[in-house]
């Protein structure tokens, strides 16, 4: 599904440069649910951004679904992001003047689907996250958990191969966090490959594999016994 070899990334800071990723080797199989952990500055977000094609590595190899991701033009990157990846952000990043349904339909719009198909597909995904009745509400009328569910529905809408979540529960209280995690686990059960960045141990333990980063290198990579989020609710 995903192979990363000897990935390096550094950011220029003034005259010096900050070496953020110092040779990452990582491979993820289809159907896995991986938590990337680390303290702030460990490079976990940078890694996720490179995987999400929002950023580019200085050196190393990144293969997604058999496709070498390298020297992408902005246009190509946009098309790949749309086709292969679904993003879930900590701060939801819904567009505030669009209602839930329109937000979910947005990636489909960029796929060039017709309005009617978009609406139907978006409705289908909203139903999946249990927000059919909230389809025509603006984000400001939704609770944090509902917003994140809309965001998940949006990430799923384009039927991506890989879901990337950046601290998906970071802005939520623990009850809502567990609700969201239960939902993400359910998606994983259905076969979606999921990669999430988190710094919360209990959230990481709900995944099937934990990769720990420190100062730009992987210090630990282990499979764990998944804790079902439903047990907490």
DSSP-based three-state secondary structure for 180: helix
Is residue 168 close enough to count as binding other proteins by CB under 8 A?
no
Instruction: Tell me if 156 sits within 8 A of 150, measured CB to CB.
Output: no
Give the separation between CA 165 and CA 37, rounded to whole angstroms.
Answer: 12
DSSP-based three-state secondary structure for 206: coil
CB of 62 or CB of 87, closer to other proteins:
87
DSSP symbol at 199: -
* Binding residue (CB under 8 A) for other proteins from 23, 58, 60, 93: 93
Instruction: Tell me if 32 sits within 8 A of 209, measured CB to CB.
Output: yes
* Binding residue (CB under 8 A) for other proteins from 10, 25, 31, 49: 49
CB atoms under 10 Å from CB of 188, counted, come to 19
* Binding residue (CB under 8 A) for other proteins from 22, 58, 109, 144: 109
CB of 82 or CB of 226, closer to other proteins:
82
Is residue 11 close enough to count as binding other proteins by CB under 8 A?
no
**Which region holds residue 86: left if phi is over 0, alpha if psi is between -120 and 50, else beta?**
beta
CB of 71 or CB of 231, closer to other proteins:
71
* Binding residue (CB under 8 A) for other proteins from 44, 147, 154, 192: 154
Burial class (CB in 10 A: 0-12, 13-18, 19+), 228: middle
CB of 110 or CB of 219, closer to other proteins:
110
Give the separation between CA 70 and CA 173, rounded to whole angstroms.
Answer: 38
CB of 89 or CB of 124, closer to other proteins:
89
CB of 14 or CB of 225, closer to other proteins:
14
* Binding residue (CB under 8 A) for other proteins from 8, 19, 22, 98: 98
Is residue 65 close enough to count as binding other proteins by CB under 8 A?
no
Residue from 183, 193, 195 nearest 36 by CA: 195
**Residue ranges that bind other proteins, judged by CB under 8 A:** 49, 52, 54-55, 74-75, 78-79, 81-83, 87, 89, 93, 95, 97-98, 102, 106-107, 109-111, 115, 154, 158
């Amino acid at each position: 599904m995903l192979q990363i070899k000897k990935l390096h990334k550094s950011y220029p800071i003034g005259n010096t440069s900050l070496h953020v990723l110092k040779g990452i080797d990582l491979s993820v199989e289809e159907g896995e649910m991986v938590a990337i952990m680390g303290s702030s500055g460990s490079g976990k977000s940078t890694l996720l951004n490179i995987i999400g094609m929002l950023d580019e590595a200085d050196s190393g190899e990144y293969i997604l679904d058999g496709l070498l991701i390298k020297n992408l033009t902005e246009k190509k990157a946009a098309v790949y992001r749309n086709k292969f990846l679904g993003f879930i952000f900590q701060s939801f990043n819904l567009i505030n003047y669009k209602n839930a349904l329109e937000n979910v339909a947005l990636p489909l719009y960029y796929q060039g689907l017709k309005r009617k198909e978009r609406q139907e597909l978006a409705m289908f995904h909203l139903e999946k996250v249990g927000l059919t009745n909230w389809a025509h509400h603006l984000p400001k009328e939704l609770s944090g958990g509902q917003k994140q569910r809309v965001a998940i529905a949006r990430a799923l809408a384009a039927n991506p191969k890989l879901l990337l979540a950046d601290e998906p529960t970071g802005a939520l209280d623990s009850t809502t966090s567990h609700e969201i995690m239960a939902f993400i686990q359910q998606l994983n059960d259905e076969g979606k490959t999921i990669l999430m960045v988190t710094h919360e141990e209990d959230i990481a333990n709900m995944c099937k594999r934990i990769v720990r980063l420190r100062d730009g290198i992987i210090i630990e990579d282990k499979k764990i016994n998944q804790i079902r989020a439903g047990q907490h609710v």
